[in-house]
């Protein structure tokens, strides 16, 4: 409580200073609670419209909605790839709120096809789905294109305090929150504990250690390949690359500008390429998405695997895995001299609100409940990582999956998704990194090209839009 | 058919019955309206709309698209992007190579099937299997064949001792292009065969008899009888294939995702990505319209080249 008061006062001081500066520049200040328009890149907020919550500054609600007595039917577009998670959630919700009925709409499992489908229907003015699941990297683009409604306009500021640190920030664009974090995901190092034991090797803490251990085990016939990951020409490669980059101390953007012409970027990409040339990773990793890399590991052909949290349960499923009981999981390593564990990319899915919904109250009630302890427990039981502190920080979480127990040790890195042109930025990364992995361009040239294309993409107009 | 034509001519010449003609014309036009509306709605309107989109800066808003006319700016932006010209180049050489090989192979297979006495229908059915498979599904099959770790192709080549280390088929620029082309040729050659086979069956048997009586050998018969008679079918098959090849999307989408790097990014993939991933509708429309113009140009060049080559031979 004391802490909160302190934050409030410092915020008030800081923002009145900003306001003074703005007035000094002779610009008109925003009046009252009329918030900034979507899409404009730089809007000026005055002290009385912004509040700080969950580590991010957001605009105060403009149209608070009382949804306590909501009723009617809404459509929820869900994109869980497996299992009955969605229907379990819906029946629990309908039991608690019998006046609201949820109709499930199953979306394509391919993220890009899913986005194309949602874009087509919502930009066409369709009022359904009222609520939809979307990737954590969509908020800026969807807010900019008005495919998502600003939830923070309708929900009380206190609503956002329930989420774990950093998650609300990822869903914020120009001071408004456009999505409610539904479940999180991140990457881990899966390893063959039987092989490490056989060759008396420890679980690697650094990338260099991983490379030498993998190479040792392969050389002594322990496995066909050392380390498999995702190197294909797609979004997943951006995730993998960002981790090495963060471990080396770099980042894709620095002060809003592309910064891949750095020593850190070179170290990251050289290491990735080096894994291939040294034979630790098969050359065909540059065609691997998650299923291909996971398949090599679960068939017993690799010592190490980088994959998302779901790979744990897959590796323990005797129907598809030959390494049941032989797998260990740890935080990803880092480069020598950069600590004891590496960065993991933040993934996961959010709930978005269709701006054309005809039943705002019921939709908000649904979003509220989906981020409540009851729903988040159901998600955890289905191996999805909860997003609210009440569940995510609870010690009982580890019973659902051993990867949950590792979460306190994981350092997170977010993709640079705060721009509506993130898809082009990401493409500039994965296209060029993939070309370097294939060996068709040098590491230096690939990073030069990526840097230049990211800069073009950030400008948002012109040929950078391709 | 011919009697109807004569009747119409007769009524037209007989001035006294023109009102009946006018009535017929009006009724005919009336019957055309439903079909006309459908064509307008599903063909003409989308084409014009795309062209209009390509001359606008388009923002998505709560009320749908918001158009701001910006002249040829989208085209300037698209044509100044190296990625666009890379996609044009890939699409053009991909189309030329695959269509040429498909026409050549298709002709050989059609001639072979034509001359088969037994099991003719069986061989036609077997040959049609690749064509009847949905491209996305056959592309998934090919991705298992080409897989660099557990792929069938590497297993066979290694088993035969032709290669020592597995080849990363879809992960390296040159082999990725070859792999895509092979999958395309496998899939669409049967289409060419079917069209050429029907063309072959239209050639009157007595042409061959006459040629043989004149003492023509096999090659002369082919070059002076079969080929000229077949040129219409070859033109049709070639045109259809060029139209499809320039729009190639599903094969690279599944097999390479346009990679490695952007090696196998076709124009259609670029357009789709610009429209539905990047949500730049004006730029995407400009890519689409440019693609259409390119395809039209390619078809015209193909037709005129083909006429020049075979037209004179036929006379």
CB A290 within 8 A of CB A235: no
Identical fold, A72-185+346-410 and A187-345+421-465: yes
Every domain of chain A and the residues it spans: 72-185+346-410, 187-345+421-465
pLDDT bracket for residue B105 (50, 70, 90): very high
Q: How far apart are CA B303 and CA B298, in angstroms?
A: 9
CB A79 within 8 A of CB A114: yes
CB A391 within 8 A of CB A376: yes
Q: Which of residues 159-188 of B touch A (CB under 8 A)?
A: 166, 168, 170-173
Q: Is residue B63 part of a domain?
A: no
Q: Which of A145, A296, A440 sits opposite B260 (nearest CB)?
A: A440
The DSSP element (H or E) to which A424 belongs, if any, is helix A422-438
Q: How far apart are CA B255 and CA B169, in angstroms?
A: 10
Q: What are phi and psi of A150, to 5 degrees?
A: -70, 100
The DSSP element (H or E) to which A59 belongs, if any, is strand A56-59
Whether residues B171 and A355 touch (CB distance < 8 A) is answered with no
Mean pLDDT of B256-275: 92
The tens digit of pLDDT for each residue in A164-192 reads 888 898 899 999 999 999 999 999 999 99
Whether residues A463 and B170 touch (CB distance < 8 A) is answered with no
Residues of B in contact with A112 (CB under 8 A): 276-277
The tens digit of pLDDT for each residue in A37-90 reads 333 333 344 446 888 888 888 999 999 999 999 999 999 999 886 668 899 999
- B56 to chain A, any CB pair closer than 8 A? The answer is no
Q: Is residue B177 part of a domain?
A: yes
Q: What 3-state class would DSSP assign to A53?
A: strand
Buried b (16+ CB within 10 A) or exposed e, A37-69: ebbeeeeebbbbbbbbbbebebbbbeeebebee
Worst-scoring range by mean pLDDT, A246-260, B108-122, B262-276? B108-122
Regarding whether B28 and B159 lie in a shared domain, the answer is: no
Whether residues B277 and A441 touch (CB distance < 8 A) is answered with no
Does residue A4 carry a pLDDT above 60? no
Please state whether beta strands A411-413 and A343-345 pair in parallel, antiparallel, or not at all (unpaired). parallel
Whether residues B61 and A234 touch (CB distance < 8 A) is answered with no
Smallest CA–CA distance, residue A286 to chain B, in Å, is 6
Whether residues A123 and B60 touch (CB distance < 8 A) is answered with yes
Mean pLDDT of B84-104: 96
Whether residues A427 and B273 touch (CB distance < 8 A) is answered with yes
Mutate which: A147, A226, A287, A443, vs B, most B CBs within 10 A: A287
Q: How far apart are CA A366 and CA B206, in angstroms?
A: 78
The tens digit of pLDDT for each residue in B203-216 reads 998 999 999 899 88
Does residue A21 carry a pLDDT above 90? no
Q: Which residues contact B155 (CB under 8 A, 6 or more apart)?
A: none
**Tokens 């490669």 belong to residue:** A237
The tens digit of pLDDT for each residue in A110-163 reads 888 899 999 989 988 899 999 999 999 999 999 999 999 999 999 999 999 999
Regarding whether B127 and B180 lie in a shared domain, the answer is: yes
Whether residues B283 and A287 touch (CB distance < 8 A) is answered with no
Mutate which: B87, B253, B277, B288, vs A, most A CBs within 10 A: B277
Structure tokens at A147: 């495919």
Average pLDDT of the residues of chain A: 87
Mean pLDDT of A256-263: 94
Q: Is residue B157 part of a domain?
A: yes
Q: How far apart are CA B182 and CA B101, in angstroms?
A: 10
Regarding whether B113 and B29 lie in a shared domain, the answer is: no
Worst-scoring range by mean pLDDT, A48-57, A358-367, A439-448? A48-57
Other beta carbons within 10 Å of B311: 12
Smallest CA–CA distance, residue A5 to chain B, in Å, is 38
Number of domains forming the structure of chain B: 2
**pLDDT at residue B311, rounded to an integer:** 52
Q: Which of A125, A437, A466 sits opposite B78 (nearest CB)?
A: A466
Q: Which of B63, B64, B278 sits opposite A424 (nearest CB)?
A: B278
**Tokens 């409580």 belong to residue:** A1
Average pLDDT of the residues of chain B: 87
Q: How far apart are CA A46 and CA A23, in angstroms?
A: 10
The interface predicted TM-score of the complex, written ipTM, equals 0.77
Structure tokens at A461: 């107009």
Mutate which: A113, A144, A289, A465, vs B, most B CBs within 10 A: A465
Regarding whether B84 and B42 lie in a shared domain, the answer is: no
**pLDDT at residue A56, rounded to an integer:** 86
Does residue A436 carry a pLDDT above 80? yes
Q: Which of B147, B173, B270 sits opposite A284 (nearest CB)?
A: B147
Work out the percent of chain A whose per-residue pLDDT is above 90.
Answer: 69
The tens digit of pLDDT for each residue in B157-186 reads 999 999 988 899 999 999 999 999 999 999
**pLDDT at residue B17, rounded to an integer:** 56
pLDDT bracket for residue A3 (50, 70, 90): very low
Q: What are phi and psi of B290, to 5 degrees?
A: -60, -40
Smallest CA–CA distance, residue A455 to chain B, in Å, is 14
CB A74 within 8 A of CB A81: no
Smallest CA–CA distance, residue B304 to chain A, in Å, is 34
Q: Which residue has the higher pLDDT, B293 or A45?
A: B293
**Runs of H (alpha helix) within chain B:** 2-13, 18-39, 45-54, 73-79, 82-115, 120-132, 135-146, 152-159, 173-202, 205-213, 218-221, 227-246, 250-255, 267-272, 281-306, 312-314
Q: Which of residues 76-95 of B touch A (CB under 8 A)?
A: 77-78, 80-81, 83-84
Regarding whether B85 and B19 lie in a shared domain, the answer is: no
Regarding whether B81 and B30 lie in a shared domain, the answer is: no
Residues of A in contact with B168 (CB under 8 A): 282-284, 286-287, 438
Mutate which: B79, B140, B166, B259, vs A, most A CBs within 10 A: B259
Q: Which of B78, B173, B273 sits opposite A440 (nearest CB)?
A: B173
Other beta carbons within 10 Å of A98: 9
The tens digit of pLDDT for each residue in A190-248 reads 999 999 999 999 999 999 999 999 999 999 999 999 999 999 999 999 999 999 999 99
DSSP type of residue B125? H
**pLDDT at residue B61, rounded to an integer:** 79
Q: A139, A133, A140, A240: which is closest to A186 by C-alpha?
A: A240
Whether residues B261 and A115 touch (CB distance < 8 A) is answered with no
Whether residues B261 and A434 touch (CB distance < 8 A) is answered with yes
**pLDDT at residue B116, rounded to an integer:** 82
Residues of B in contact with A114 (CB under 8 A): none
Regarding whether B90 and B10 lie in a shared domain, the answer is: no
Residue in chain A nearest B272 by alpha carbon: A116
**pLDDT at residue B308, rounded to an integer:** 66
Which range marks the domain in which residue B123 is found?
A: 76-314
Q: Which residues pair with A206 in a beta bridge?
A: A334
CB B255 within 8 A of CB B269: no
Whether residues B170 and A355 touch (CB distance < 8 A) is answered with no
Q: Which of A287, A435, A462 sits opposite B170 (nearest CB)?
A: A287
The gap from C-alpha B26 to its chain's centroid, in whole angstroms, comes to: 38
What DSSP letter does each residue of B256-287 carry, written as one string?
A: TTT-STTTT--HHHHHHIIIIIS--HHHHHHH
Residues of A in contact with B262 (CB under 8 A): 431, 435
Cα dist from A451 to A86, A253, A260, A426, whole Å: 40, 9, 5, 11
Does residue A31 carry a pLDDT above 60? no
Q: Which of A147, A296, A440 sits opposite B149 (nearest CB)?
A: A296
The gap from C-alpha A212 to its chain's centroid, in whole angstroms, comes to: 30
pLDDT bracket for residue B2 (50, 70, 90): very low
Other beta carbons within 10 Å of A244: 26
Regarding whether B122 and B41 lie in a shared domain, the answer is: no
CATH number for the domain that contains residue B211: 1.10.3720.10
- B65 to chain A, any CB pair closer than 8 A? The answer is yes
Regarding whether B11 and B157 lie in a shared domain, the answer is: no
The domain made up of A187-345+421-465 is a member of CATH 3.40.1160.10: no
Q: B89, B294, B283: which is closest to A463 by C-alpha?
A: B283
**Runs of H (alpha helix) within A30-150:** 85-96, 111-123, 139-144
**pLDDT at residue B63, rounded to an integer:** 75
Q: Is residue B141 part of a domain?
A: yes
Helix axes B281-306, B45-54, angle to 10 degrees: 120
Does residue B20 carry a pLDDT above 80? no
Regarding whether B42 and B105 lie in a shared domain, the answer is: no
Whether residues A466 and B149 touch (CB distance < 8 A) is answered with no
Please state whether beta strands A172-173 and A176-177 pair in parallel, antiparallel, or not at all (unpaired). antiparallel
Mean pLDDT of B112-133: 87
Regarding whether B139 and B29 lie in a shared domain, the answer is: no
Residues of B in contact with A284 (CB under 8 A): 147-149, 166, 168, 171
Q: A452, A173, A189: which is closest to A332 by C-alpha?
A: A189
Does residue B148 carry a pLDDT above 90? no
Q: Which residues contact B94 (CB under 8 A, 6 or more apart)?
A: B177, B180, B181, B184, B245, B248, B266
The tens digit of pLDDT for each residue in A283-317 reads 999 999 998 999 999 999 999 999 999 899 889 98
Work out the percent of chain B whose per-residue pLDDT is above 70.
Answer: 91
How many inter-chain contacts (A to B, CB under 8 Å) are there?
133
Residues of A in contact with B60 (CB under 8 A): 123, 145-147
Q: Which residue has the higher pLDDT, B303 or B177?
A: B177
Regarding whether B187 and B310 lie in a shared domain, the answer is: yes
Q: How far apart are CA A196 and CA B3, in angstroms?
A: 90
* CATH homologous superfamily, domain A72-185+346-410: Periplasmic binding protein-like II (3.40.190.10)
Worst-scoring range by mean pLDDT, A7-11, A103-107, B224-228? A7-11
């Amino acid at each position: 409580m004391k802490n909160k008061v302190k934050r409030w006062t410092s915020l008030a001081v800081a923002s009145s200073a900003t306001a003074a500066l703005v007035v000094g520049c002779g610009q008109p200040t925003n009046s009252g609670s009329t918030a900034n328009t979507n899409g404009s890149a730089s809007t000026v907020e005055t002290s009385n419209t912004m509040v700080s919550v969950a580590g991010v500054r957001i605009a105060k609600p403009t149209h608070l909605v009382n949804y306590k007595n909501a009723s009617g039917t809404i459509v929820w577009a869900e994109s869980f790839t497996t299992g009955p998670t969605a229907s379990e959630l819906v029946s629990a919700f309908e039991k608690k709120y019998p006046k609201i009925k949820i109709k499930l709409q199953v979306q394509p499992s391919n993220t890009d096809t899913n986005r194309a489908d949602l874009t087509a229907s919502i930009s066409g003015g369709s009022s359904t789905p009222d609520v939809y699941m979307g990737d954590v990297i969509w908020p800026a683009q969807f807010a900019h294109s008005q495919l998502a409604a600003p939830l923070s306009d309708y929900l009380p500021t206190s609503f956002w305090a329930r989420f774990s640190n950093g998650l609300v920030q990822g869903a914020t664009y120009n001071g408004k929150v456009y999505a409610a974090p539904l479940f999180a995901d991140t990457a881990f190092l899966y390893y063959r504990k039987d092989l490490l034991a056989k060759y008396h090797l420890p679980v690697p803490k650094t990338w260099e250690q991983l490379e030498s251990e993998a190479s040792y085990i392969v050389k002594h016939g322990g496995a066909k390949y050392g380390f498999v990951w995702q190197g294909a020409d797609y979004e997943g490669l951006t995730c993998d690359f960002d981790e090495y980059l963060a471990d080396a101390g770099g980042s894709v953007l620095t002060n809003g500008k592309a910064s891949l012409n750095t020593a850190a970027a070179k170290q990251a990409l050289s290491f990735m390429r080096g894994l291939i040339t040294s034979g630790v990773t098969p050359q065909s990793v540059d065609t691997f998405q998650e299923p291909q890399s996971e398949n090599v590991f679960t068939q017993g052909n690799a010592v190490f695997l980088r994959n998302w949290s779901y790979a744990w349960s897959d590796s323990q499923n005797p129907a598809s895995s030959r390494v049941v009981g032989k797998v260990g999981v740890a935080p990803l390593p880092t480069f020598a001299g950069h600590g004891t564990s590496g960065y993991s990319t933040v993934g996961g899915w959010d709930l978005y609100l269709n701006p054309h919904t005809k039943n705002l109250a019921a939709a908000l009630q649904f979003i509220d409940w989906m981020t409540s302890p009851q729903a988040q427990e159901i998600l955890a039981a289905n191996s999805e990582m909860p997003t609210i502190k009440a569940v995510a920080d609870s010690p009982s979480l580890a019973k659902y999956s051993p990867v949950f127990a590792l979460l306190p040790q994981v350092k997170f890195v977010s993709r640079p998704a705060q721009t509506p042109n993130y898809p082009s930025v990401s493409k500039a990364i994965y296209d060029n990194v993939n070309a370097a992995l294939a060996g068709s361009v040098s590491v230096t040239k690939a990073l030069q090209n990526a840097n230049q294309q990211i800069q073009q993409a950030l400008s948002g107009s012109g040929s950078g839009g391709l | 058919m011919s009697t109807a034509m004569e009747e119409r001519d007769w009524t037209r010449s007989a001035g006294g019955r023109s009102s009946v003609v006018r009535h017929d014309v009006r009724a005919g036009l009336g019957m055309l309206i439903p079909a006309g509306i459908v064509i307008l709605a599903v063909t003409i309107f989308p084409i014009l709309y795309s062209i209009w989109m390509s001359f606008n800066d388009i923002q998505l808003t709560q009320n749908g698209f918001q158009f701001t006319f910006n002249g040829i700016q989208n085209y300037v932006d698209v044509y100044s992007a190296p990625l666009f010209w890379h996609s044009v180049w890939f699409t053009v050489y991909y189309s030329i190579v695959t269509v040429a090989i498909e026409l050549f192979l298709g002709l050989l297979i059609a001639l072979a099937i034509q001359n088969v006495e037994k099991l003719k229908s069986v061989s036609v059915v077997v040959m049609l299997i690749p064509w009847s498979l949905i491209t996305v599904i056959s592309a998934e099959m090919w991705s298992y064949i080409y897989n660099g770790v557990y792929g069938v192709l590497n297993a066979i080549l290694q088993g035969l001792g032709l290669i020592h280390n597995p080849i990363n088929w879809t992960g390296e620029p040159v082999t990725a292009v070859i792999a895509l082309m092979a999958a395309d040729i496998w899939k669409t050659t049967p289409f060419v065969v079917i069209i050429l086979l029907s063309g072959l069956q239209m050639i009157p048997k007595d042409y061959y008899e006459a040629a043989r009586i004149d003492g023509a050998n096999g090659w002369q018969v082919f070059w002076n009888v079969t080929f000229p008679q077949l040129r219409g079918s070859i033109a049709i098959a070639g045109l259809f294939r060029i139209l499809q090849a320039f729009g190639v999307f599903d094969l690279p989408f599944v097999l390479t995702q346009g990679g490695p790097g952007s090696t196998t990014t076709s124009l259609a993939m670029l357009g789709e990505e610009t429209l539905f991933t990047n949500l730049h509708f004006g730029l995407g429309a400009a890519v689409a319209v440019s693609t259409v113009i390119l395809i039209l140009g390619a078809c015209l060049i193909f037709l005129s080249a083909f006429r020049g080559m075979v037209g004179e031979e036929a006379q």
